[in-house]
Amino acid sequence: MFLTRLGYGIVYFLDLIYEILKATFDVAVNGIMRQNIDPVVVEIETVLERPVSQTILANSISLTPGTLSVDLDSENNIIKVAAISPRSKEDIIPFEPYIKKMLE
> Containing H/E element for 71?
strand 67-73
Q: What share of the chain is helix, strand, coil (3-state, %, to 5)?
A: 55, 20, 25
Question: In sequence order, what DSSP letters do the residues of 21-37 get, joined into one string?
Answer: HHHHHHIIIIIIIS---
Q: Residue 35: its pLDDT value, please?
A: 82
The answer to whether 57 touches 99, Cβ cutoff 8 Å, is yes
Predicted local confidence at residue 30, as pLDDT: 82
What confidence tens digit (pLDDT) does each residue in 26-78 have?
898 887 788 878 899 999 999 999 999 999 999 999 999 999 999 999 999 99
Stated pTM of the model: 0.91
